[in-house]
Structure 1
């Protein structure tokens, strides 16, 4: 499973829908969407400031994450951004690799 941080903002009718349905029903809608692609929700929070809602979920891979992002953003009611998360072990493994790269101008 791949773990993702999500950040989202309600837009236009999305705000009206949130006010009408409440936060619990919006979280439940995300749980249903995640289950439809074989994923699960780890945490879900509302916040003040630049981000309305954020949390973490697990999905089987990048295609499932992309499908969710496309589906949710296509409504025009929510602007969602996903960030893949890595474990410390993932970072340890990455640090062991030595990719070849030439910097611009060198």
Structure 2
């Protein structure tokens, strides 16, 4: 039996978002691994689960900002899910709010 179907493959706009659970410590040691994980998920709608984050460094925030901009440029959704208090405080300390990672509306 053939492995083909009559149904079209989901496009990034219609596929259920993938979820990336962010590590507890988003520090210098986590930055490269975070960037690689995001690169592998590129062109997929993505939810960043920040519920377990206890520390957010400026370098990891730069990685997340670059991802947000790339997803926006690609026309694919990227959103923040359940940010911990420490994640939100880290964003605020570095000059942003949770709203930065919300879907843009046209």
TM-score by length of 2: 0.29
Q: Which has the higher contact order (CA 8 A, sep 6+)?
A: 1
> Which structure shows the higher strand fraction?
1
TM-score by length of 1: 0.29
> Looking at CA atoms only, which structure, 1 or 2, has the larger radius of gyration?
1
